[in-house]
Structure 1
Amino acid sequence: MSISSSLDLFLLPELFRIIEEGKKTGRLIVQIPLNNQTSNLKRIYYLWFREGYLVAISDRLNHRGLITLIETRNWLSPLITEKLRTLCPTEMPLGVYLDQMKLLTRDKLRLIFQLQLHQVYQLFELTSGWFRFDELSELQDRLMTLPWLEMTGHRMKATEVAMYGLRLVKDWRVFGEQLPKSNLALQRTVNQPFLKLISLERKIWEQADRATSIETMALELMQPIKNIQIAAFRLIVVGLLEEVLVDNYGIKSTNLVSSSKVVLANVERQKFLVKPRQSTDKSLLNNLFKLWRS
């Protein structure tokens, strides 16, 4: 099954969370509009996931992205890399093969993967564009498979990629009204964080007691309210916290960072449209999971 939408209607971090929680394997295409101001980004990116982990990143489909990165650093000559394309065993990441053959060190392969990741991190600042995710089973019907020649052998959890990307966002106007309101409280959705948190995120996590408002947290932590809202947003969008409304009758959950509109396409090319709402609850993502898994 496939899912596609525009980036102004569906948050990229939410998609990464769905990919990880659903242990998805497949290809994500992110297309960037011509009027994008981030000049160092390419027009299109292909991100490959395996069981919820990001395993390959490229801006081309000819399986030469990783090889080009190696050649431009003069680590291997074009003559050698051309031979390696044919010698690399089937279903073995090229990076693993290069390591086994002692042609590249693990440190160099790790560096290349980090360079690739920094391209992905920039995608989280996009305010417009388009994406499409196809599961591997559907790609195999088109005689496509995982791009082993684009894989370093390293991988990262999709939510971890999203968290790093969100920490690097410079202009938080990208998310507009998606930031949690200062009069809301927070509650944990898991017993322990499944990601490594930085200091402020950890403090917010510890104070997420369903009773302390974000405004009160800011006072107690001696931080601007905006800083607390931004850090809380990161924790919410990756699935560690959720917002709650506190009233005289108890605590009600309200997931305000859920997407406003999602376009789903199944293998028969049928599309489902979720109408926009100012506030949506977790049923939106739950319904998305059910439709995607059907």
Structure 2
Amino acid sequence: MALVGDLREFSLPDLLQLVERGSKTGQLSIWAPNGIYKIWFYQGRVIATLPPEEEHRLERLLARSALVSDRVVEKLASFCGAQEPLGRYLQRQGLISPADLAKIFRHQLQVGLYCLFSLDAGQFSFLTGVPMPYREMTGLSKSATAAVLEALQQIKWDQRPEEDLPQPDSYFWRTSTELPLYKLSALEWGILEQVSPSRRLTDVARALGADLLEVRYACARLAKLGLISPCEGSAAIAPSLPASDQLTGVAGNLETAKEKLSAKLPSFSEGSGQVKPSLVARLATLLKAVRDK
């Protein structure tokens, strides 16, 4: 099967969702001004991408990030099974962690797919029956719909400086236990299940095996949707304090609240005036009615 067209007539989000709905396996090629981008799918899920620049090949990314040396990658790649993703093989050998592999896959998506959503036009072709690019595969995948959502959200959030994102040591709590009405990515679902007033974002990212920056972006989106909320002040600090200090802090907060409440209540000091007889009579009537019931 071959599908050929132009992005002016068939948008990239529609194209990816068509691939997912049909559970298609194959290679999508897109002609951009700087060259040809290749995106591979397996049963409707994105499994690898490759932009025109050779520096973004998986082996180059591994060497550039100093995770695995050029010689080691080249040697182990020759031992890798003919139908096993290179990233999964390296992880199985203990040479790369799941979190580092997730970072590389995220980089592949950004430079090989998400950047294409800004194109207004460009030829594309989708071919089935092509060999799988095992040397470019991390072993991870993402649904086409989730990729579309993240790409569109990334375009919006790219304008926001990283300093404005939730900080790595911040805490969040889930505002509701009901199922959200919005369609969320797998990472966002994971964050909803993991966030807690006693767990920092660094701990959430570690538990999910996800990139911390990606978790911070996802938290910012979830907070904007009102699904989570940051813990302010002592709520974020309390989990790191000893139990005795936490109890002391709670007692202090109660005393402060009592003082504020007392300040708002009217005071009846001596000499401030007598209570009206009519008010006393009405109160007595009410008390009698309650007693008779």
Q: What is the TM-score with the length of structure 2 in the denominator?
A: 0.52
Shift of 1:24: 0.2
Which one of 134, 147, 171 corresponds to residue 161 of structure 1?
Answer: 147
SS of the counterpart of 1:27? strand
Residue 78 of structure 1 corresponds to 70
Shift of 1:43: 2.0
Residue 133 of structure 1 corresponds to 126
1:122 partnered with 2:122: no
Contact 2:56–2:108, Cα closer than 8 Å, also in 1: no
The structure with more helix, counted as a fraction of residues = 2
Residue 18 of structure 2 corresponds to 18
Partner amino acid for 1:158? A
- After TM superposition, the runs of 4+ consecutive aligned structure 1 residues lying more than 3 A away are 60-64, 192-195
Partner amino acid for 1:196? L
Shift of 1:169: 3.2
Contact 2:29–2:125, Cα closer than 8 Å, also in 1: yes
Contact 1:63–1:147, Cα closer than 8 Å, also in 2: no
Which one of 93, 105, 125 corresponds to residue 85 of structure 2?
Answer: 93
Which one of 165, 184, 188 corresponds to residue 196 of structure 1?
Answer: 184
For 2:102 and 2:49, locate their aligned partners in 1 and report how far apart those are by CA, in whole Å.
13
Partner amino acid for 1:162? V
SS of the counterpart of 2:139? strand
CA RMSD after TM alignment: 2.7
Task: State the Cα deviation string for residues 195-225 of structure 1 (Å, max 9, x = none).
Answer: 3179xxxxxxxxxxxxxxxxxxxxxxxxxxx
Contact 2:55–2:61, Cα closer than 8 Å, also in 1: no
For 2:6 and 2:97, locate their aligned partners in 1 and report how far apart those are by CA, in whole Å.
39
Shift of 1:164: 1.1
Higher relative contact order, structure no. (Cα contacts within 8 Å, ≥ 6 residues apart): 1
Contact 1:47–1:58, Cα closer than 8 Å, also in 2: yes
Change (3 A) 1:155 1:121: same
After superposition, where does 1:137-286 map in structure 2 within 5 Å?
139=130, 145-170=131-156, 195-196=183-184
Partner amino acid for 2:21? E
Task: State the Cα deviation string for residues 87-135 of structure 1 (Å, max 9, x = none).
Answer: 1111111111001100111111000001111121111111121111001
Task: State the Cα deviation string for residues 126-170 of structure 1 (Å, max 9, x = none).
Answer: 11211110012xx3xxxxx10111110110000110111122335
Partner amino acid for 2:8? D
The structure with more strand, counted as a fraction of residues = 1
Change (3 A) 1:92 1:194: farther
Contact 2:80–2:86, Cα closer than 8 Å, also in 1: yes
Task: State the Cα deviation string for residues 63-83 of structure 1 (Å, max 9, x = none).
Answer: 981111111112221111111
Change (3 A) 1:2 1:194: farther
Partner amino acid for 2:149? M
Change (3 A) 1:87 1:132: same
SS of the counterpart of 2:148? helix
Contact 2:5–2:123, Cα closer than 8 Å, also in 1: yes
Segments of 5+ residues of structure 2 without an aligned counterpart are 158-179, 189-293
For 1:2 and 1:165, locate their aligned partners in 2 and report how far apart those are by CA, in whole Å.
25
For 2:96 and 2:154, locate their aligned partners in 1 and report how far apart those are by CA, in whole Å.
29
For 2:15 and 2:45, locate their aligned partners in 1 and report how far apart those are by CA, in whole Å.
13
For 1:165 and 1:158, locate their aligned partners in 2 and report how far apart those are by CA, in whole Å.
10
Residue 257 of structure 1 corresponds to none
For 2:141 and 2:60, locate their aligned partners in 1 and report how far apart those are by CA, in whole Å.
19
How many equivalent residue pairs?
164
Segments of 5+ residues of structure 1 without an aligned counterpart are 34-41, 140-144, 172-191, 199-294
SS of the counterpart of 1:153? coil
Residue 59 of structure 2 corresponds to 67
Change (3 A) 1:62 1:26: farther
Contact 1:64–1:149, Cα closer than 8 Å, also in 2: no
